[in-house]
Structure 1
Amino acid sequence: MRIDAIVLARGGSKGIPNKNLEIVNGKPLIFWTIEQLKCCERINDIWVSSDSDEILDYSARHETQTIKRPGQLANDRASSESAWLHAVDYIEQSFQIKTNLIVAPQVTSPIRSNDDFTNAINHFLNEKADSLLSVMKLNDYFIWENKNSQFQPINYNFKNRALRQNIPHTYLENGSIYIFKTTILREHNNRLGGKITFYCMDKYKQFQIDETEDIKLCEAIMEKYQ
């Protein structure tokens, strides 16, 4: 089975201008995802899709294939699915390559181990799954929601408060890694479909960079664990 990694890295960003090239722990943010993907021998090719020539030039210098993404697929309203579909079409039509499985990491989640992609792919294949998302296990949390200005518990009855160890386990979608069959993406126009499984990651890997203040937090964690 052919496995391609498609990295979405547009030039614009509301929180941090040109975020994907922002220096994080001494390197441009996108560097971390590219280097982690290179550690995975199961991946045939790494493709970076961007509307930014600067990002594409940087990625090419770091031994990835590049895909110039149209501007209409790189604005705040464009879905990731539309960019993945554009990339898959480009790969298949321009290089006569039949894609089977797509590994789709989130650049703004730089905190991963070098074996996370390999472990996630192996889990996907062992489960005979159609799609996978990375998650973090939530232990012993009492979770509430604000529904029509009324706060209500989600996972327990406050009138009969459970012991913390008896709370049902829930999982947070951390956005770091998605894996899906190309057929699922085309049929559902969605990264998830068919038999869905998840890859559970350590709690410290949940943090991502959306705002400037996130950089120092992620750097502190990366210096400790990576």
Structure 2
Amino acid sequence: MSFGIVYFLCTLLVANGDILEACPPHSNSSEFVALILARGGSKGIPRKNLAPIGRVSLLARAIQTIQRANVFNEIWVSTDDDEISNEAIRYGAFSHIRPESVSSDTATSIEAVQEFIGKHEDVKKVALFQCTSVFLREEYVRKAFEESQNVECIFSVTRSHKLRWKEVDGLIVPDNFNPEKRLRRQDWKGEMVEAGMVYVAERHVLEKGRFQSNKCRVIEIAVGDSMEIDTLFDLEVARCLIGF
């Protein structure tokens, strides 16, 4: 059966409200896939992954950005929610229906990814994108794909030049600088702070319950692009910046 016919049948099923595990992939290149985790039970912002922003949902915005980068043959959305599943398929992604055991408030992202690769034995590497990272850009998607070719893992970071303090035995002491030789911004490279926008890891790293090993590289993203939608305030700010 040709992909065109399969896609047409998938579209009909979505239009009728039927849920698919996934439409069959349009190529046999499924060893390295893009994955978005999008469960339906968000508490901070109900139905967060479907929240409209820039005239489409957060989920659709992420799928479209990955598609425009034109490096992944397959984009998967792992969800426990019928409406999210339909939204994924509507925008050209494949839907993976995950069980309740990895969809609760206490379930971790790595557990959901492990469940996904457990059901897709052909997948050797996963690029996990967070649709609540609203300023995901095509250039970051391409970097994640290209720079991970010869390493076990890639993850996104921002660069911080903030001077940090900590409390030790009731005293406030400097944590990352010498107060007698305070560094100017231009005098040091700053610190890398993990950002949740993208994680790429080979299967054997993920199977160990990790996104990173000691053989990783990083993608440095602009601080202004690192915003994550966790609260209603974040959502309203993003809408102001992007347009509702």
TM-score after normalising by structure 1: 0.87
Superposed, which structure 2 residues align to 1:61-72 within 5 Å?
61-72=90-101
The 2-side partners of 1:181 and 1:122 are apart by: 14
Q: Which residue of 1 aligns with 2:159?
A: 137
Residue 212 (structure 1) aligned with residue 235 (structure 2): no
Q: Trace 1:172-187 onto structure 2 (pairs within 5 A).
A: 172-186=193-207
Shift of 1:49: 0.5
Supply the AA of the counterpart residue of 1:101: K
Q: How many residues align?
A: 214
**Against the structure 1 CA distance between its residues 65 and 148, is the aligned structure 2 distance closer, same or farther, given a 3 Å change threshold?**
farther
Matched residue SS, 2:120: helix
Aligned sequence identity (%): 25
Instruction: Supply the distance in 2 between the matched residues of 1:3 and 1:122 (Cα, whole angstroms).
Output: 12
| Uncovered stretches (5+) of structure 2, i.e. residues with no partner | 1-28
SS at match of 1:115: helix
Match of 2:3 in 1: none
**1:159 shift after superposition:** 3.8
Equivalence for 2:8: none
Secondary structure at the aligned position of 2:111 is classed as: helix
Aligned residues: CA RMSD: 1.8
Is contact 1:106–1:177 with CA below 8 Å preserved after alignment?
A: yes
Question: What are the Cα deviations for residues 10-30 of structure 1, in whole angstroms up to 9, with x where unaligned?
Answer: 001121011101112221111
Structure 2 CA distance for partners of 1:160 and 1:76, relative to 1, 3 Å: same
Secondary structure at the residue paired with 2:107?
coil
Alignment of 1:44-193 (within 5 A): 44-92=73-121, 98-125=122-149, 128-138=150-160, 140-146=161-167, 150-186=171-207, 188-193=208-213
Q: 1:161 to 1:194 in 2, by over 3 A?
A: closer
Please state how far the C-alpha of 1:114 moved relative to its aligned partner. 2.1
SS of the equivalent of 1:83 reads helix
Which runs of 5 or more residues in structure 1 are unaligned? Answer: 93-97
2:59 aligned to which of 12, 19, 30: 30
Give 1:205 deviation, angstroms: 0.6
Distance 1:148 1:207, change over 3 A: farther
Is the CA contact (8 Å cut-off) linking 1:85 and 1:185 kept in structure 2?
yes
Shift of 1:40: 3.0
Query: Which residue of structure 1 aligns with residue 37 of structure 2?
Result: 8
Q: How far apart in 1 are the matches of 2:118 and 2:202?
A: 14
Q: Which residue of 1 aligns with 2:10?
A: none
The aligned counterpart of 2:17 is none
Q: Secondary structure of 2:228's match?
A: coil
Alignment CA distance shift 1:221-1:129 (3 Å): farther
Structure 2 counterpart of 1:195, one-letter code: K
1:221 aligns with 2:233: no
